[in-house]
């Protein structure tokens, strides 16, 4: 395994699309469902949306992930907008990659 492969990290961020506020995020060295579910649980403790939009990655289509939403009667919308979401979380990704420990630079809108 190369050093690039060992240093690869996966980021999941759950955003409020209206405010662009980051409700929860997790960083992992694997691309498994567990860290995505942890982020979802944290986000749902702060906010309860009517609709939850995600892409169709296996982490987000898993029964553990979708079950948390269905148990709370939250409608699920899945599409291929992973690239758009990645662009919106650009500041968060840069902060995580740089080891930033404050949230002030994570909000692309400049608010909150």
Reported as a single tens digit per residue, the pLDDT across 99-110 is 544 443 334 433
In CATH terms, the fold of domain 3-97 is Nucleotidyltransferase; domain 5 (3.30.420)
- The overall pTM is greater than 0.75: no
pLDDT category of residue 71 using cuts at 50, 70 and 90: very high
CB neighbour class for 55 (10 Å; exposed up to 12, middle 13-18, buried from 19): middle
Reported as a single tens digit per residue, the pLDDT across 43-68 is 999 999 999 988 888 899 999 999 99
């Amino acid at each position: 395994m190369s050093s690039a492969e060992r240093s690869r990290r996966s980021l999941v961020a759950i955003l409020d699309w209206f405010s662009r506020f980051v409700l929860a995020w997790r960083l992992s060295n694997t691309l498994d469902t567990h860290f995505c579910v942890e982020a979802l649980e944290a986000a749902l403790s702060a906010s309860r949306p009517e609709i939850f939009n995600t892409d169709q990655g296996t982490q987000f289509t898993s029964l553990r992930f979708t079950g948390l939403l269905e148990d709370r009667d939250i409608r699920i919308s899945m599409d291929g907008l992973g690239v758009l979401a990645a662009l919106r979380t650009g500041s968060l990704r840069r902060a995580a990659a740089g080891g930033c420990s404050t949230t002030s630079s994570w909000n692309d809108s400049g608010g909150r």
